[in-house]
Every structure is written in C-alpha cells, then in structure tokens.
Structure 1
Amino acid sequence: MTHETTEIQSPSAGSGLGEFASSQALTLGVELELQLLNTHHYDLTPYAPDMLALLKNTPVPGSIVPEVTASMIEISTGICTDAQDAYQQLAVTRDALVKAADRLNIAIAGGGTHPFQQWHQQRIYDKPRFKEVTALYGYLTKQFTIFGQHVHVGCPDADAALMMLHRLSRYIPHFIALSASSPFVQGQDTAFDSARLNSVFAFPLSGRAPFALHWEDFERYFDKMAATGVIQSMKDFYWDIRPKPEFGTVEVRVFDTPLSIERAAQLAAYVQALGAWFLSENPFEPSEDDYLVYTYNRFQACRFGLEGSYVDPVSSEQSVLREHIALTLERITPYVTAQSRPALQQLRNSLNLGGNDASWLRACYADAQQLPEVVRQAALRFRGAQP
C-alpha cells in the first residue's frame, strides 16, 4: 500500500480531495516509523540517507522512505489480506533493514519515542519539502521525531468509510493503550504510557474528524476548509483517524510504533476484526454524542494505558480499559479470519499477562537503570532476538 513519506505537511502541499477509490473491504495496509540508533551509545543517529542508498535496489513488498528527520525511516506493506499477510510482509522488510543496519554498524528499534534523544540535535532530512515544513512549524518539526504505526483498512465505498471512521473512533482508547510504547521523553519517565501523542496534539487540525456520515457532507466540509486557505489536501489534517480517498481506506493513526512486528500485526488484526464486525452487524449508529467523552477517554489511555478509565459514550458507564478491551475481543471473535486468529490470540494473551510495550520498557529500565541499555534491548526485540 502506498503512503505519504511524512505526516507533517505544509498547507501548500497536495491537490485536493479527489474521488474515493475502489477498495476491497477489510484489506489492510501497515506503516511503521522506526528509530535509527548509534550502537555505541544508542542515541538516535542521522543515517537515513545511508540506509536508503544501501536499500535502493532491495526488493521489499511495500516501500522504505525517509521521514522528516534523518534519524527516522518509514516502512510500509503492500495491500494485505489479513494479519498473517501483514506480518510476513513486514518480516521481509524488517530483515532487509536489519541486514543493512548491520553493514552500517547501526541498529533499528520501534517505540513511540526515543527515551533520551534531544530534539534540538536532530537534523531535517535534506528534501525541499521538509525544509518548507520546518520554516512553517519551527521547533515543532524537530520535536516531531516521534514514531507511530498507521493502519489502513479497506472500505467498499465512501459512505461506508465515514461510517467505519466514526465507529472506530469509539475504540481509539483501545488502540492507544494496546500500542503505548513511549513512556520516556528527554531522559525522563513522563508518567504517560503514550507521551508521543502529546507531541501530535501540538499540531493544528489534530484530534477528531468532523461528524459526517455521507461523503457529500464531508466534501462540503473539505471545500469550506480549502476555501479558507488553511488546507489544500487530506494531508493537512492530523486527525486520529482520517479517510484516505486515493486508497479507498480509513487510516488509524494513533498507534505508537510497537517494539516488534508481531505486535504491529496484532494491532492490524484488531482493526480488521472490528471492521468486519461493523460491516456484518451494523452494531450501533454513530452520533455526535459519541464525542462527548472522546478527549477524556483518549487522555486516560495515553496517561494510564490499560489501567485507564473508559466512559461508554451511550450508557455513561465507566470501566477499566483492560476490561473493556477484553469484552470487545470476545465480542468480535466470530469475525476474525482464520489467518488473523493467532495474532488476536496473542493480543488477548498479552492483555491477560498485564503488559503493553510501555510496561516492558519500564520493567527493562527498572532492571538496567540505564536508558541506553533499555534502547539496546528494544533494538534486539525489533530484530526478533528478544521475546
């Protein structure tokens, strides 16, 4: 699945909304933003140009592209049918990355933030568009040296995409808590499981999408925004979930990059199973009232992870996120494909055992008491050398 090379765009980028493309329902695409690390001290290192040059002729299922700062790199799958397919594609690309990194004597890791990098030391990748972005956003551009996973899910038509978007919005806290892998920033434990999203929220037009259930209404909203000169294309919206008309998908954007590609495939499986449930049963009708507790639920997931509170937007009942996720996993089990079932079972097991990646990172620090060692362990986990 093709994708953008960065999630920070200038208002002059893009070419309008365009038609909603035809897409096979419930197909998947996965993007991962990854850390490039110096193997002496495990700080970030600006080796993206070297990596891309080395990998230029390496065949991979999707693509490998630069990100806004030179210590980052982004990989994507092609179009995937299920979680197993996504994992296999990611594994091919992961192995190619690790091989190239070994040749350059650097390492690669997941995680939503690097635990101790200093934003002012980062270098903007040498592309004119990235320099334009820096001129617009100033220091925020370098502070955007954070790392996320995006999951695209195919939708049969434009109206179905908007319905999918608003139904998935109820589960944004699930996605945040399950993927949270950014407890450390600038050498400090932030007390957040996902501190990464605090940086995303600093950008204009972040947060939630407007409430529209028909594509004509969404087009009118887009045209009004474009008329103000604030936006030029969908790339200018930094919403938690957004439609991608050119792909025929809805893109979920709140995941921290996991520490392993296994976890990345599990998260994609969860999105796909939820989507299958929605398309099969139409289990609830979205409404604007769904968003009354949206920001609160999102904050709880970022701050407390799986132990955060979840307020049901309809009943106003409160529960622990871990419990709400467990009930949801049980509810969607009939809609999980055979090829995605192992990934969902692994996700369920990790939920029962008490951990997201933020917990793993904190446990690693409690044992090592040195953040460079935590990063080294995370790099081993990404390459498949750690459980």
Structure 2
Amino acid sequence: MIPSLEFKPSAFLTFGVELELQLVNTRDCDLTRGASDLLALLGKASHPGDAKPEITESMIEVSTSVHERYETLAEELRGIRDAVVKAADRLNIGVAGGGAHPFQRWSERQICDRPRFRHLSDLYGYLAKQFTVFGQHIHVGCSDGDQALYLVHGLSRFIPHFIALSAASPYYQGVDTAFDSSRLNAIFAFPLSGRAPFLLRWSEFNAYFAKMADSGIVGSMKDFYWDVRPSPGYGTIEIRVCDTPLTVERAAALAAYAQALCRFLHEERPFELKEEMYLVYNYNRFLACRFGLEADIVEPASGVRRTLREDIAATCERLRPHARALGAEEALEEVLRWALDSGNDARWMREAYARGKSLQDLVWRQTERWRGNG
C-alpha cells in the first residue's frame, strides 16, 4: 500500500533557491569531472547553504536556507558563491552559471555514482547524460496542500515570464540553437515533464499520486519533472523552468519576483482557475523558450497577443504593492529593467560571443561573471 503524501506546512511566502552549476576545466573551458572532489573539499569547510551532487560529475547543486526577505536571500547566495569559487580555485576548476554548456558533448559525461542517478541512467538511457543542463529551482512556502495546488496552477499563467527572464542557454553542442533557452528542450523529452494535472484539492492529488505509484510509474515526487510542482516534504511549491542565471544577483531577483507573484495570487485571486487556461500553455512556453522576451504570447482568458516584455512590465506594475510589503522593491525594479532594457542572459551571451568569436572565451567570461567580475 502506498502511503499518503503528507504536506508539511511551511510559513507562507518564505522562500529559497537551488542552483545547478557548471564545472569546467581552466584549460579549454569544457566541462570537467570535478563534482566529487569539489564536494569533498566543500565538506571540510564551514560555509552557508548546502552543496550536493547532481546527475553527472560535471555539475553540482547548491541551495540556500529558508528566507523571508530578498536581501537576506541575496546575501546568502553571495556567501555560497564565494565558498564554491574558493574551493574550486584550489582544484583549478572553473564554476559557471548558464542553462547549458555551449559546446560540451553529452556522450562524454559520467553519471554520478549514486543509486538514484544510476536508476535514472538505466531507465532513460542517453537522455540521462543529455540531462547535463543547469537550472534554478525556486521554492515558496505554503501553509497547506490546497494552497500549494492553487499556486501551482495560478503560476502557470506566468511560466513564460520565468523562462524568458532567466533564459541563458542559446548555445548547445557547439551551435547557436536560435532558442534563448535550449535547456528546456532536453527536459521536455522526459515523459513526466510538462504541467501538473489540474487538481485543486490535496486529497485529489493524493489519490492521483497513489495511482501513479501503484502502477510503478513513480516512487516519489522527485520523479515528476513538471514546470511547477508541489514539494510536500518541504511544504512548498517549486518553480523549475528557470535556467541557472549567470550571477547570483539575478537568481535572487527572480526568486523575489516569484515570491511577489505568489502573494499577488493569494491576496487578489486575479482570475478563476480553469482547465481551459492550459489550452495555450505549451504554445506560450515554446515561444518563451524560442524568442525570450521578444515572444508574442497569447493571454489564456482573452486570446489577446502581446510581447512578453509588455506582459512582464504590466505584471510588475500590479506587483508593486506586494513587492513593497515583502521588501522586494529593488528586485522588482531589476526585473522590470531586464524586460524593458538590458534583456536576459541569453542576450548577454550572444553579445559576448559576437565580440570574441569563441565559445571557449564565452565560457571563460561566464566563469568571471559568476565570481562577480563581469
């Protein structure tokens, strides 16, 4: 018998961040098999946050503790970054953000020697190595499962925002993909990716999970690679569509944007949740991956089209009182500036490549940017 999923309540609107990071050698800036050594070194030192292995030896995941305010989250992320960079320097390893390494070859990757990762490799074959892509996951605390499911579906309207704002993977396998976020194409290949089923009560979700588990399809919530999913063990919802940004400052601002959106959805209930809202979901998600902030998306309720730049700007205006209440006004202004002026990290990467005409040089510039030098 499959046990029910207990949703462990969290303080509403507390939040935290997970970041998957690229490990590159300093000789040719290709990915390197350095995760085990780096994590062993980090384990000997005191540092903020947590660090753990990911599916291949060319990446690690770092995570923050739980926060209430944007400024403390940003401060901890800077501390985590500094600790990782210091340890990596001792091993002659470079660390970079970005959603995909620009020129690594997936066949050269080594699966990390952990039971779960070996299981994924056995199940998914070559897709497991192609899963060497790098994302930011944003957790927001919820008081109960029903609230979590409301936010999971309410946030679906804004998933293109997070994709376009965070997009940082225009290059993959040595070519410009013409996508701002190529990373999500690797994730969409998995059968349990995409959107969560339209269920609004935790009891209904429990029944759904039990059927999936009884069928042997899943063993835990980790087996769902949904764009937004409830995380009952943490008492959160988890936004999973973001590429890892090139800086921790951008990662913190994206998390604060998510926190403000959750407060807005909870306080204002701006639209009724219906299954029909997902009719344009995959289309909008694709456009955000392909064109980033230049995408024309379709409003689910009215069918009206407008650019993501316009939609994000209009949303920021609606979020101002919520950001003010959360102490995240600075983060909201940053998000608005990206949308209207400076653009996303994919734009920065293309501009950097245009100057140097070298993907190796681009990766080196990414490592400099990650350590706060660019």
TM over 0.5, shorter chain: yes
The 1-side partners of 2:312 and 2:192 are apart by: 28
Q: Which runs of 4+ in 1 moved over 4 A?
A: none
The aligned amino acid for 1:369 is K
**Structure 2 residue 172 is the aligned partner of structure 1 residue 185:** yes
Residue 61 of structure 1: aligned partner: 48
Please, which moves more after superposition, 136-145 or 292-301?
136-145
Question: Percent same amino acid at aligned positions?
Answer: 56
Q: For each residue in 1:199-238, what CA deviation from the matched residue of structure 2 results, as whole angstroms up to 9, or x when unmatched?
A: 0001111100000111111112112212221112111111
1:338 is displaced (CA, Å) by 5.4
Indicate the SS of the match to 1:25.
Answer: coil
Q: 2:347 aligns with which of 335, 338, 359?
A: 359
**Structure 2 residue 222 is the aligned partner of structure 1 residue 239:** no
The 1-side partners of 2:150 and 2:208 are apart by: 16
1:16 is displaced (CA, Å) by 5.4
The 1-side partners of 2:59 and 2:37 are apart by: 12
Indicate the SS of the match to 2:45.
Answer: coil
Unaligned runs of 5+ in 1: 1-14
Residue 384 of structure 1: aligned partner: 372
**Structure 2 residue 276 is the aligned partner of structure 1 residue 289:** yes
Q: 2:13 aligns with which of 26, 35, 50?
A: 26
Cα RMSD for the two superposed structures: 1.1
The 2-side partners of 1:100 and 1:227 are apart by: 44
Indicate the SS of the match to 2:139.
Answer: strand
1:44 and 1:114 in contact (8 A); partners too: yes
Residue 342 of structure 1: aligned partner: 330
1:55 is displaced (CA, Å) by 0.7
1:16 and 1:232 in contact (8 A); partners too: no
**Structure 2 residue 217 is the aligned partner of structure 1 residue 230:** yes
1:370 is displaced (CA, Å) by 0.3
The aligned amino acid for 2:344 is N
Residue 155 of structure 2: aligned partner: 168
The aligned amino acid for 1:326 is A
**Structure 2 residue 81 is the aligned partner of structure 1 residue 94:** yes
Indicate the SS of the match to 1:176.
Answer: helix
Indicate the SS of the match to 1:74.
Answer: strand
The 1-side partners of 2:326 and 2:133 are apart by: 34
1:16 and 1:233 in contact (8 A); partners too: no
The 1-side partners of 2:316 and 2:338 are apart by: 12
1:17 is displaced (CA, Å) by 5.0
The 2-side partners of 1:126 and 1:245 are apart by: 27
Residue 137 of structure 1: aligned partner: 124
Q: For each residue in 1:317-365, what CA deviation from the matched residue of structure 2 results, as whole angstroms up to 9, or x when unmatched?
A: 0000111000001111100145321122112112221410000000001
Residue 206 of structure 1: aligned partner: 193
Residue 300 of structure 2: aligned partner: 313
Residue 12 of structure 1: aligned partner: none
Residue 93 of structure 2: aligned partner: 106
Q: 1:327 to 1:220 in 2, by over 3 A?
A: same
Residue 319 of structure 2: aligned partner: 332
Indicate the SS of the match to 1:160.
Answer: helix
TM-score (norm 1): 0.94
The aligned amino acid for 2:271 is F
The aligned amino acid for 2:362 is V
The aligned amino acid for 1:345 is E
- The number of aligned residues is 372
The aligned amino acid for 1:242 is R
Residue 3 of structure 1: aligned partner: none
The 1-side partners of 2:206 and 2:358 are apart by: 51
1:142 is displaced (CA, Å) by 0.7
2:138 and 2:239 in contact (8 A); partners too: yes
Indicate the SS of the match to 1:372.
Answer: helix
Q: For each residue in 1:121-165, what CA deviation from the matched residue of structure 2 results, as whole angstroms up to 9, or x when unmatched?
A: 111112233222211111111110000000000112111111111
The 1-side partners of 2:115 and 2:270 are apart by: 47
